[in-house]
Amino acid sequence: MPELPEVETIKGQLNKKIRDKKIKTVEIKLAKMLAGVTVDNFKKIVEGRKIKSVERRAKLLIINLSNNYSLAIHLKMTGQLLFFKNIQDWEAYKNKSAVHLIYYFENGSLLVHTDVRQFGYVKLIKTAELEALFRKESFGPEPLAHDFTLKKFKNLLIQKPRAKIKPLLMDQTFLAGMGNIYSQEVCWAAKIFPTRSVQGLTPQEIRALYVNLIKILCQAVSARGSSVDNYLDTEGQPGEYVSRLKVYGREGAKCYRCDGTIKKMTLGGRGTYYCPKCQI
DNA sequence: GTACTTGTTGAACG
DNA sequence: TCGTTCAACAAGTA
């Protein structure tokens, strides 16, 4: 499930693979993937344009085109963007299910957008309107931005004294990009029980949350994300961080840190794993 | 057939 | 009006 590290991985790979490439044609197999634009208009605006750059905001992948339009792509749970350097490689690819969009580049390479559950979307908007879109979503700060300091994190927390820490970490208006998996990994690493309220946290615990938040996200980015469910990077490779997850999906298994047994609860409607012994 | 998965949205609440 | 919480929804898998 693409959260910040997965989208960041795709962003980095696409900047290497498709920047400055010219889109010759787009094949649209499932029109409902396009948000707020008709198939004809989408083709008219996108075809013949060059890729200027690829960015990320929260879990949105932003592809900037040469004509001052941008694609804002959300992969939701099961979206994939797969790059192939030529049509033969694509023909040889084993899993061709759930293919909804194909971007063909002038040099023969292609980018394939798949999504088994069809939850994701591609929004076509003017580049100048991106900021307005982000404001409308009221995204919180980017945790990996250089100016995201401990002090800034503390100031954010003070605003939400009664919130439970784990659901708060995955609230996109509080902090952008964290999802269900990494938010519980952060709580485990900081030895904090997921239902703890912000006002009860000690300064040391807040520091532990901050340090582990940054650490886990950075490590997950370098491991090209976690492949829970069906996430793949643009080369069709699974993310390696999945083997380093400490609590997610480990119900009934032994805690890696103490002799406790990992338990699961529902918190804010989401499955949440924790160690009842060392997370306090 | 049923339960379960997550990110987002909109309704309902106080 | 606002902040917060919760159910619903998307579509498929076990």
Would the Cβ of A76 be found within 7 angstroms of any atom in strand B? yes
Angle at Cα A198 formed by Cα A194 and Cα A199, nearest 5°?
135
Beta strand ranges found along chain A (DSSP E): 23-28, 34-35, 51-57, 60-65, 69-74, 79-84, 99-105, 110-115, 121-126, 263-267, 270-274
Phi, psi of A108, deg, nearest 5: 100, -10
SS3 for A133?
helix
Place of tokens 């900037």: A64
Please state, as a whole number, how many other Cβ atoms lie within 10 Å of the Cβ of residue A222.
Answer: 12
Q: Please confirm, yes or no, whether A196 is among the known catalytic residues.
A: no
Confidence of residue A225 (pLDDT cuts 50, 70, 90): confident
Pairing of strands A60-65, A69-74: antiparallel
How many Å from the CA of A176 to C1' of B12?
26
pLDDT category, A242, cuts 50, 70, 90? confident
Q: What is the DSSP letter of A81?
A: E
pLDDT value, residue A213: 94
Q: Which residue approaches C3 most closely, CA to C1'? A: A160
Protein-proximal positions, strand C, CB < 7 A: 4-8, 10-13
Select which of A11, A59, A166, A250 is catalytic. A59
pLDDT in tens, A86-142: 999 999 888 888 899 999 999 999 999 999 888 899 999 999 999 888 888 889 999
A44 catalytic per annotation: no
Task: Determine if strand B comes within 7 Å of the CB of A245.
Answer: no
Cβ-proximal residues to A51 (8 Å cutoff; 6+ apart), any chain: A14, A18, A19, A20, A21, A22, A23, A63, A64, A65, A66
Residue A258: pLDDT band with limits 50, 70, 90:
very high
